[in-house]
Amino acid sequence: MRLTASRIFQIGLLLLFFFLVYTHLIPRNDEQSLVSGAPKPADPKDQAESQSQTHDHPHPQRPAHPHPQRPTVTQSSAYPKGTANLEEATDTQGAADPQEMTDTENKNDSENTTILQNSKDSQNLTDPGSRSQFIKDAFIYGWRGYKQHAYPHDMLKPLSNTTLDGRSGWGATIVDALTAAILLEVPETIDAALQHIPTISWQIASYEGVAIFGSTIRYLGAMLSAYDMLTTTHSHLVNADSKNKLPELLSQAQALADLLSPSFGTPLGINSNFLNLTDHNITSKNGINDITAISGLPLEWTHLSDLTGNHTYAEISQKSLNAILNVTGDHPSPFPGLFPKHLSLETGNFETGNFDTSDVGGWSHAGGGLYEMLMKNYVYDPVHFKSYREKWITAADSTIKYLASHAQGRPDLTFLAEFNGTELIYRQDHSGMFAAANFILGGAATGEKRFLDFGLQLVNTYIKIYGATETGIGPESFGWIPTTCDTGEETRKEICQVPEEYVSQEKSGFVRSSGYWITNSNYLLRPEVLESLYYAYRVTKDEKYREESWKIVERVIRWCRAGSAFAELEDVNKKMEVGSEEGRRDWMNSYMLSEVLMYSYIIHQEDAPWQLKSNGKNEWVFTTQAHPLRVKAKIEGSAQRSWTNSTSV
């Protein structure tokens, strides 16, 4: 066909029309990100970092994530009625409309941004109800940020909206936050977790080496706690779609424990801290394990035995802990009831002669968990764990007598020193500030007032530590000059002066006014001070502690809210712009939701069976990761531990 001039003109107009439609109505890739509200493609550096190890995990990461990437929908209202998740919705309704998904994400982004829009007025909230609602809103804000940008990975990097899988890749945040969601009554989180947990394949992890202690406190403890609450005190929160998932909480807990059990296969039955899932070989640095990773298992593992009737879990975990308490070899600690941090898996003896300033005894990281769990196991079952009560009392008395230290110029402050042999090291870290809660719990459980009084001394010190910084939030670690320098009891000259690297804090007047110098200025979203304030309020009912808890959590929410959720702070002694990413660290650990916001919420709630009791007669006990478990006496049914009638520890 011969083209005439008019035909060529018509074709040209048609091509011009399609060109205009394409260039004006269809945005380019970078414009699409802005229009839809979706994040721009991640920087390759961020992508590489999201696949890297966490800063404390020694094992190489497996290249493939165990879970398929799931579509992102953050509200149950986005699903068609009667469906449990988006996959089911697309199966029953046909392919999901991309525009509808974009609209949903835009809606959720908007709600997530505005849910705390009145945060500037939060300091003026005065009644428990409005404060509780504000904290609950903060939980939902953090949860939706994780759900949209990180689910089903372990953790969210809220500034870059990328992910981290340092907790085996099983979804640490969604599992760890489940019990907090139950106590705060957040249905969207509860439903999502109940749908997620049955899908976890424990045999497939993001790292070849699985952490036994970390998996116990975050995954096993959360599932057992959720099972306890959702089948008793909080059964009203389970909808029809999720009710059939409750038995899977217990079966999945048992499956995880079965997977981790080979870690006890050492000569003396002392658990290693890592288990290689490929060959089931136990791995442990230098053939040792720390006493927190050993003592931190029996509470959850014994509870699993009590729920299932399988005594093996309790027996192997208690045998491991008792190896610490019954050590017959060299005992390098001069303080009765207190132990160095590391135990040999081969000999069962404490490592001696190779201590340095990072491997000492005390209540800080990797050491204090032993004393915490002695008391919590006793609260769980005072009959079976009767001897743990006496072991704890010995350790607590030694702590008061030998480790308690007051700061030069600030005798009102009570710190807990660490020890290296007979020498005290005057430093403390935030992770050890649960000590106040443990002394208060122990005081109530034993009826010994001296422990309660000492715990309150510590709590009041924590309040002042926080109040001394520019943000009103305490640092990761600090040091001090003890009053023994004034009395002549301390003969080491270097102890009686501020270290050279911190002299600037002395010159600025910070050390004189605060009583301490900051050695690590980060705030890593740690919960220990809020935990201790909860215990202080529940036992004394002194409103002072509830008020201080509110002040602290309000500051945490105000300063740490950044990006899509909450971020760590680089320097607590430096004020920064609210809501800005500057001065923040791109990391949100699961305990921001599971502990920080949980403890600060339940302190405002009325008496309930699961609340801590001031008379020491507790019906529930909180694990180290803040998951409440029913005490042994409150477990009904044939699975109760008849197998322990003949033995106790």
pLDDT digits (tens, 9 = 90+) for 394-410: 999 999 999 999 999 99
Q: Residue 498: is it exposed, middle or buried by C-beta count within 10 angstroms (0-12/13-18/19+)?
A: middle
Q: What is the pLDDT of residue 7?
A: 63
Q: What is the pLDDT of residue 360?
A: 82
Residue 275 lies in a domain: yes
Residue 646 lies in a domain: no
Q: What is the pLDDT of residue 55?
A: 33
Q: Average pLDDT for residues 338-349, to the nearest whole number?
A: 89
Q: What is the pLDDT of residue 87?
A: 26
Answer for the pair 601, 132: CB distance below 8 angstroms, yes or no. Answer: yes
**pLDDT tens track for 5-33:** 566 566 666 666 555 544 443 333 332 22
Q: Average pLDDT for residues 271-298, to the nearest whole number?
A: 88
Residue 44 lies in a domain: no
Residue type, 522: N
Q: Which of 1-5, 133-137, 252-256, 312-316 has the lowest mean pLDDT?
A: 1-5
Where do we find the tokens 């599932």? 223
Q: Average pLDDT for residues 231-240, to the nearest whole number?
A: 95
Q: What is the pLDDT of residue 99?
A: 38
Q: What is the pLDDT of residue 15?
A: 64
- From the list 105, 372, 476, 554, the catalytic residue is 476
Extended beta strands in 472-607, E state: 477-479, 517-520, 561-562, 565-566, 568-569, 584-585
Asked if residue 624 belongs to a known ligand binding site, the reply is yes
Q: Average pLDDT for residues 425-454, to the nearest whole number?
A: 98
Answer for the pair 71, 87: CB distance below 8 angstroms, yes or no. Answer: yes
Answer for the pair 480, 426: CB distance below 8 angstroms, yes or no. Answer: yes
Q: What is the pLDDT of residue 384?
A: 97
Residue 200 lies in a domain: yes
| Residue 388 reports pLDDT greater than 80 | yes
Residue type, 188: E
Q: Average pLDDT for residues 154-176, to the nearest whole number?
A: 98
| Residue 645 reports pLDDT greater than 50 | no
**Residue 453 and residue 350: Cα distance in Å, rounded?**
32
Q: What is the pLDDT of residue 442?
A: 99
Q: What is the pLDDT of residue 282?
A: 83
Mean pLDDT, the chain, rounded, equals: 84
Cα dihedral angle (584, 589, 593, 597), rounded to 10 degrees? -50
Report the share of the chain in percent with pLDDT over 90: 69
pTM of the model: 0.83
**476 tagged catalytic:** yes
Q: What is the pLDDT of residue 70?
A: 34
| Residue 327 reports pLDDT greater than 50 | yes
Q: What is the pLDDT of residue 328?
A: 61
Residue 512 lies in a domain: yes
Higher pLDDT residue, 587 or 46?
A: 587
Answer for the pair 624, 372: CB distance below 8 angstroms, yes or no. Answer: yes
CATH of the domain at 458: 1.50.10.10
Q: What is the pLDDT of residue 648?
A: 57
The number of folded domains in the chain is 1
**pLDDT tens track for 41-71:** 333 333 323 333 333 333 333 333 333 333 3
| Residue 117 reports pLDDT greater than 80 | no
Radius of gyration over every alpha carbon of the chain, rounded to an integer in angstroms: 27
Residue 21 lies in a domain: no
**Residue 68 and residue 519: Cα distance in Å, rounded?**
42
Q: Which of 97-101, 472-476, 519-523, 607-611 has the lowest mean pLDDT?
A: 97-101
Residue 86 lies in a domain: no
| Residue 589 reports pLDDT greater than 60 | yes
Q: What is the pLDDT of residue 380?
A: 98
**Residue 530 and residue 597: Cα distance in Å, rounded?**
9
Domain that includes residue 155, residue range: 111-640
| Residue 119 reports pLDDT greater than 60 | no
Residue 43 lies in a domain: no
**Residue 460 and residue 532: Cα distance in Å, rounded?**
10
